[in-house]
Structure 1
């Protein structure tokens, strides 16, 4: 009986694993190819704007164009990443095929004219759209379609950042706060690896980051823990700030969107106003450092994510400026993602905090890079893996401390309002969406609603 049970269980596992492998590999390869094309176009658009800085003055018109593109063709695709999360939790109308080309086109437009946005949202939406389309080709049932959508997120995320393991864990962790959806473990891992390998096969390269070697650990600590106790305390203090930065970013994105929706009755004017504000802010700053991704330098001495890994590579308030630029860009209807700007915010904040705390610059830039992202997406486990994939495993303990601390201190906020709360950080928030939790956030919500930044319900 035991032998029969053993053989039947493992035969079913093997059969299911092989089945999903056959399905996921072509889907993820398709997604990886689409992401490679997107990254190639994105790089071209960003460098074209570098050479033609006057394009920034057309940002309001670009915003209007994006509005009408979605008005005419978008329909449910306007919901973006939140639609994919909703479809995985509660299958309904599906993720439309038009989502992939629409978000690709409008993200390129956003960056071509200087909008401050990212690229993860585009890759994830392309992944979800392609996965939904191919699930129909394979005639999958609703449960398998949900699994394939989750794998599509993994493929898109792993491909766009060159972090396949992070992509797999992110796809499983982002759906429900406090719980990891292990039912899609193997498909997500296969998808993340395939997506990343496909992008590499197309000759697309990702930015490399480096943490400088830290001083030797004092002898009296070396037998117990792998790093300096004082350094751990500094990391915790900095990570609380990273979590609060995540909180601020998420609140501002949702608040700006609600504010403009409430006060501007002509919808196409909202992105136009957003574009004008970005132009004005750039005049105030006197430099274009906070436009677009913030990875490549437009001029010598520009503040970028790579520059933040070096002493003097960021201004004291670079993180706040990037927060303002990005939340206005996305809150007024431009397209793209939030994650690369979150990397920028975290890295530049880490740079600033390293000076205040007398801590290693490159280490704290790396910690901010992953921790602000962890707090804003409520994915501390995935972000810990991201730290290991991007920066090496030597500081894995510090990565985990930073990500989980920032996750806790970001509260029940986040950039994905459709996330479900499986295990609340505080109070009785379980089984609610993140959107519902934010609307119950007591004092701050009341103040924001009072001044028109959020709608009362």
Structure 2
């Protein structure tokens, strides 16, 4: 590398770190609303651009593989041109070969570069939210775009949601790493990325925002992600629509009016059948995935085998090719009557089988889209069978197709509300809310009774989430900031130190690792003794400079001996978030930084345990000092009160009183000794009667 190139690299690295410091400092000091307004806009822009990139890659791959090579034109929904399918195959022999080659190319790319991009992607994104929101590698995002386009574009049965969700989640994860977001904020960032990306590519921002909160659990919501998801979803949809158009995916289908309660009976039938078919979809998909995983074949061969079989099935049932959204469009109108009845009846089961072959074999694509096709033709089959014998059923299949989509996939995804809203947005109608509620409710009851889901990374509720489990099981951790629990750093190394100098400092401090800072004292990463020895053995021609925050995930990305994957902890972050960070990775300690990213200490799990015990003892001591006549009261701090502007510790609060919460505007604050009191704060306090009276006088300035 020439001196000019190295100088440019170092300069760029410093500018990158400077931007990182400024943004991190601002996010730490600003209000909740401002923070998530900025992050939501950034996430939305990235999600929208990611959705556009994947959609265009998929469209190009479909054109090349199916139209140019195989001579088959797939049908398209209204928003994409409302094109009908080819009457037949110009080159039937090419369909199995194209599907096999496309799946093979995608599989080779995945397993050679980013194995985590295997499969449908949504499960990986959900798992990242729960366990390692900072760990999604950017290379997995790039690989997912290309591999999914190859698999689906060559005829594989897959959808857009999985790739788009993982793409947006990956960029959200990078953002969390770059800005050193807390674990709680990192989770919300990745979840918002999932919802905004899926909402953008389906033209369903409201449903996407709700999906971000609902898809993470079987029976719960991540309510903290709701506002950020709304912001990110509307921005992502605006970016998407500016390029691809704002119309509903399937156009404006029309209004449906209930005229008799008896009409609900037919939708109840759809709900019951849809729930059963949804269960069959999940069980078949994972049974096939398990079967393929046990085949004595190389992992990259299995998707090719699955693609070959899908291509052979497509020769008899072309409706299994690709995303299938064009066939949903056909099912929404009079074209449904021109599709042979046996195709309508068998298509849900054919799609279940081909999705397992395409994605369950290890291919890259989504399972949301196939679920919509399956549900749509469940509804279409009910209409086709009943319409000749039930005159009151009506001559429009659209209501049955729409409710079928909602019931089948809304139930098995364990996200009924989000899927209902998304399908309503994709069809441009909310007139089916009442029959949809009945059908989706019945389908969900059937799925819940069998306790199954299509997304196996979902947790049952927030209580099972590692982050929420820590807060629920050890609530006092949320009261202690890292700055109060940290220890003084035993050793801090400089970026310019030679490996031999680093080793001397580490040995003198009797530690195997230490934080590294740049010339301005700002945190860069961590040096481990084995890495120093490796670097030392390679020679000491130049100091390890030029470090930038890596864009890859948990795998170490080092320059010289410096490992930048060790996330620092801001001194204001509370111990519940610190413990989550340390237990979700191989990290067992972390550097503590201030607003300027300067190292002010270190913190380990033993430090957390020690301070938790101290906090418990202090709280037990205060509770033991309460008399027999105790109670809970609320007081509002008057503007003239002497408590205004003081911290809880210096506010002259009676010793026998415990302030359990402070309500400030719309925020509820867990107070610590350093929490500053403000006029208008509503205090919830526990204490003896006489002490509560003293506090009342203090707050009211009597």
Pair in the same fold by TM > 0.5: yes
Counterpart position of 2:325: 295
Give the one of 307, 310, 314 matched to 1:278.
Answer: 310
Give the one of 174, 179, 183 matched to 1:142.
Answer: 183
Counterpart position of 2:53: 37
Give the one of 276, 300, 320 matched to 1:244.
Answer: 276
Give the one of 304, 324, 328 matched to 1:305.
Answer: 328
1:232–1:291 distance in 2 versus 1, CA, 3 Å: same
Partner secondary structure for residue 116 of structure 1: coil
The 10-residue stretch of structure 1 (61-70 or 15-24) with the greater mean CA deviation from structure 2 = 61-70
**What are the superposed Cα offsets for residues 208-264 of structure 1, whole Å, 9 maximum, x if unpaired?**
3444554662xxxxxxxxxx2111121111111111111111111110011122233
Query: Does the aligned pair in 2 maintain the 1:176–1:422 contact within 8 Å?
Result: yes
The answer to whether residue 155 in structure 2 is matched with residue 125 in structure 1 is no
Counterpart position of 1:71: 111
Q: Distance in 1 between matches of 2:115 and 2:54?
A: 22
**What are the superposed Cα offsets for residues 339-387 of structure 1, whole Å, 9 maximum, x if unpaired?**
1111111111111101333334110000012222212311011122224
Query: Does the aligned pair in 1 maintain the 2:107–2:300 contact within 8 Å?
Result: yes
Query: Does the aligned pair in 1 maintain the 2:278–2:409 contact within 8 Å?
Result: yes
Q: Distance in 2 between matches of 1:200 and 1:85?
A: 26
Partner secondary structure for residue 305 of structure 1: helix
Q: Distance in 1 between matches of 2:41 and 2:52?
A: 16
Partner secondary structure for residue 191 of structure 2: helix
Q: Which has the higher helix share?
A: 1
Structure 1's unaligned 5+ residue stretches are 1-11, 218-227, 297-303, 424-429, 434-457
Structural mapping, 1:404-419, within 5 Å? 404-410=441-447, 411-419=450-458
Give the one of 286, 299, 309 matched to 1:254.
Answer: 286
1:130–1:92 distance in 2 versus 1, CA, 3 Å: closer
Q: Distance in 1 between matches of 2:173 and 2:303?
A: 30
The answer to whether residue 353 in structure 2 is matched with residue 336 in structure 1 is no
The structural deviation recorded for 1:412 is 2.1
Q: Distance in 2 between matches of 1:63 and 1:212?
A: 38
Structural mapping, 1:221-232, within 5 Å? 228-232=260-264
Query: Does the aligned pair in 1 maintain the 2:129–2:187 contact within 8 Å?
Result: yes
Q: Distance in 2 between matches of 1:75 and 1:268?
A: 10
The structural deviation recorded for 1:70 is 2.0
Q: Distance in 1 between matches of 2:57 and 2:111?
A: 24
Query: Does the aligned pair in 1 maintain the 2:160–2:365 contact within 8 Å?
Result: yes
Q: Distance in 2 between matches of 1:76 and 1:282?
A: 28
Query: Does the aligned pair in 2 maintain the 1:379–1:407 contact within 8 Å?
Result: no
Structural mapping, 1:52-451, within 5 Å? 52-53=69-70, 54=94, 56-78=96-118, 80-91=121-132, 94-204=135-245, 207-214=249-256, 217=259, 228-283=260-315, 285=316, 287-296=317-326, 304-310=327-333, 311-312=336-337, 314=339, 315-358=344-387, 359-360=393-394, 361-390=397-426, 391-410=428-447, 411-422=450-461, 431=464
Counterpart position of 1:4: none
Q: Distance in 2 between matches of 1:343 and 1:356?
A: 20
Q: Distance in 2 between matches of 1:313 and 1:251?
A: 32
Bigger radius of gyration, 1 or 2?
A: 2
The 10-residue stretch of structure 1 (137-146 or 389-398) with the greater mean CA deviation from structure 2 = 389-398
Aligned length: 397
The answer to whether residue 32 in structure 2 is matched with residue 16 in structure 1 is yes
The structural deviation recorded for 1:121 is 0.3
Q: Distance in 1 between matches of 2:231 and 2:421?
A: 16
Partner secondary structure for residue 169 of structure 1: helix
The 10-residue stretch of structure 1 (189-198 or 73-82) with the greater mean CA deviation from structure 2 = 73-82
1:75–1:262 distance in 2 versus 1, CA, 3 Å: closer
1:282–1:75 distance in 2 versus 1, CA, 3 Å: closer
With a CA cutoff of 8 Å and minimum separation of 6, indicate the structure with the bigger relative contact order.
1
The structural deviation recorded for 1:265 is 4.0
The 10-residue stretch of structure 1 (339-348 or 386-395) with the greater mean CA deviation from structure 2 = 386-395
Q: Distance in 2 between matches of 1:254 and 1:194?
A: 35
The 10-residue stretch of structure 1 (383-392 or 194-203) with the greater mean CA deviation from structure 2 = 383-392
1:76–1:339 distance in 2 versus 1, CA, 3 Å: closer
Partner secondary structure for residue 263 of structure 1: coil
What RMSD over aligned residues (CA atoms) do the two structures have, in Å? 2.5
Query: Does the aligned pair in 2 maintain the 1:322–1:341 contact within 8 Å?
Result: yes
The structural deviation recorded for 1:415 is 2.1
Query: Does the aligned pair in 2 maintain the 1:370–1:387 contact within 8 Å?
Result: yes
Q: Which has the higher strand share?
A: 2
